[in-house]
Amino acid sequence: MGKKVLVTGACGFLGKFAVNELHGAGYEIEEFDLEGGNDILDYAQVENACRGKDIVVHLAAALDEALPYERLHAINVKGTENVLEACAKCNVKRLVFASSVGVMGNIAGEADESFPYAPETNYEKTKAEAERLVLKYQELLPVTILRFALLYGANSYWKQIIKLIKKGFPITGSGKNKFQLLYVKDAAGAIRFVAGDENSENEIYIAAEECANTLEGVYTEIANLLNVEIPKKHLPVWQAKLLAHVLLAKAKMQGKKTVIMPAHIDRLVRERAYNTGKISKLGWHAKYSLHEGMKETVEELKSKGEI
């Protein structure tokens, strides 16, 4: 019988792939997700789910920058604290925590795990606080933190971006900023990999694709897969932010969501270059190139009639 693993956020974008990866590796999985009536803020539920588990993979998080800070903090920080307390009480042997390169903020050059915390958005601030909590529990519970680069795949966020590119929406800024991503299937593979390697205990790893492309390169890759022309005109950052504020105000009046928010513009024009040497030395490498991952993403969205 394989080790028993609890996956929080099991029905989320990453969670579904992580569950499949772990199943495939022979683990016995229990899913914990709001869709199934499980609340990360209900400590009793969390403790009950952690009983008898060898490993807990904590993916449950709120990413929506439109949410009030208090809500983001409750889910990302208090929820993580509940998981840590339950793991320690139930003698769980290992916690794998999904974090974000965003905890390092707007980096200069190529970032590695030694870069200081410098979160800027509310989401990033709550993930940085959650990371600090996780690290405080190392003496009670072996932990592994995976700082994922911006994930992509056939979710609603990337569907909207791809639809905008299909319509000829211009590149924001110069497009020359480094833009290193990670395909969601590779992220799930990284979770499986560190869960099975005791050498990763009490360590932080950046997980990203092998090579950093540029924002313009990512845009071009998607445009080529869609067989659409790449606009020669770029949108200045100030204009993009103004447009984002207008769209956000309009969406609020209509009770809808917008994929283009002011915080997203800042994240688009950031430098995103990451040194993956530490996790590479452990033996993990991303399997998908940007072309392969985006091709699968576009094909899946097309097959569903969503783009």
What amino acid positions are annotated as catalytic residues? 123
Q: Cα–Cα distance between 217 and 219 in angstroms, integer?
A: 5
Q: Cα–Cα distance between 186 and 17 in angstroms, integer?
A: 9
Asked if residue 180 lies in contact with residue 223, where contact means CB atoms within 8 angstroms, the answer is: no
Q: Cα–Cα distance between 25 and 17 in angstroms, integer?
A: 12
Helix (H, G, I), strand (E, B) or coil at 286: coil
Asked if residue 62 lies in contact with residue 76, where contact means CB atoms within 8 angstroms, the answer is: yes
H helix count then E strand count, the chain: 12, 8
User: H or E element: which one contains 184?
Assistant: helix 184-195
Strand ranges inside 10-131, DSSP E: 28-32, 55-58, 94-100
Q: Cα–Cα distance between 47 and 75 in angstroms, integer?
A: 16
Q: Cα–Cα distance between 166 and 151 in angstroms, integer?
A: 20
Backbone angles phi, psi at 149, to 5 degrees: -65, 170
User: H or E element: which one contains 220?
Assistant: helix 215-226
Q: Cα–Cα distance between 157 and 306 in angstroms, integer?
A: 12
